[in-house]
Amino acid sequence: ILKILAALASGYLLGSLNTAVIVGRLYGRDITSHGSGNAGLTNALRVLGKPAAALVLAGDIAKGVIACLIGLRLGVHVQSGDAGDCASLLAAGAGAVLGHNWPVYFQFKGGKGALTAVTVLFMLNWVMALICLGFFVIVVASTRYVSLGTLCATVLFAAISFVPAFGNALYFHVFALLMVLIIVFKHRANIGRLLSGTENKLAF
Ligand code: G3P
């Protein structure tokens, strides 16, 4: 249990390094008071532009990967040796998403956790991650609503996480449920805007 807590804490501290806030500050702008106000990749692209968004993308992927590697190294497995069964990896990944969304270094004002969550999913099960990412790209390309793409991919993730062929352990489902709840909760304002037809479209 100590190793699980250590994984959760290190994931949280790493995830709290919210790249959108940091890159925003480098560009002299407070990302939380521009655009959608969200400290994430989409808003960084909207407010700061493509080079800054590329930095945010790299930073958010890097912290997710590092958190997972720490979790993997702690190596707490319950049943099999699969990544999907590695409780410390799941804890570190969940910690990274929690830190990204509610960063301890930035007054708990963070992002919505989708990019960090998909990075963690790549470390757990890349096939599942690729399916979700592919669906996200299709929805965004056809509607230009990033939030709709994220929400659709999240629902798909919730559904396919129950496919037995992926062979995941019980607490993988707990992790999946937590991710789905967090991401949907964080998108509640987007859901309102989508329903009222006022959501921001991705524009280049
Ligand atoms: O993952 C964030 C995205 O789905 C929406 O971002 O800035 O449009 O609220 P934003």
Pocket test for ligand 1, best of 46, 47, 150, 155 (most atoms within 8 A of CB): 150
C-beta 43 within 6 A of ligand 1: yes
Nearest to 94, CA basis, from 161, 177, 151, 168: 177
Greater pLDDT, 58 or 163: 58
Residue with CA nearest ligand 1 atom 6: 42
Greatest Cα pair distance in the chain: 49
> Which residues touch 109 (CB under 8 Å, ≥6 apart)?
21, 32, 39, 103
C-beta 101 within 6 A of ligand 1: no
C-beta 146 within 6 A of ligand 1: yes
Percentages (nearest 5) of helix, strand, coil residues in the chain: 75, 0, 25
Half-sphere exposure of 51 (CA within 13 A, CB side): 2
CA 200 from centroid of its chain's CA atoms? 20
Residue with tokens 């989409």: 42
Give SS3 for 28: coil
Residue with CA nearest ligand 1 atom 3: 147
- Summarize pLDDT for 72-99 with one digit per residue, the tens: 888 766 665 555 568 889 999 999 999 9
| pLDDT in the model for residue 84 | 57
* Tokens encoding 132: 């979700």
Which pTM value belongs to this model?
A: 0.92
Nearest to 61, CA basis, from 17, 2, 109, 110: 17
Report yes or no: 85 and 71 within 8 Å, Cβ to Cβ. no
State the amino acid at position 38 in one-letter form.
N
Mean pLDDT, all residues of the chain: 91
Ligand 1 atom nearest 40 alpha carbon: 2
Pocket test for ligand 1, best of 109, 112, 133, 193 (most atoms within 8 A of CB): 112
| pLDDT in the model for residue 104 | 97
Give SS3 for 77: strand
- Summarize pLDDT for 137-185 with one digit per residue, the tens: 999 999 999 999 999 999 999 888 888 877 667 778 888 999 999 999 9
- Summarize pLDDT for 100-129 with one digit per residue, the tens: 999 999 999 999 999 999 999 999 889 999
Cα 85 to ligand 1 centroid, rounded to whole Å: 30
State the amino acid at position 72 in one-letter form.
L
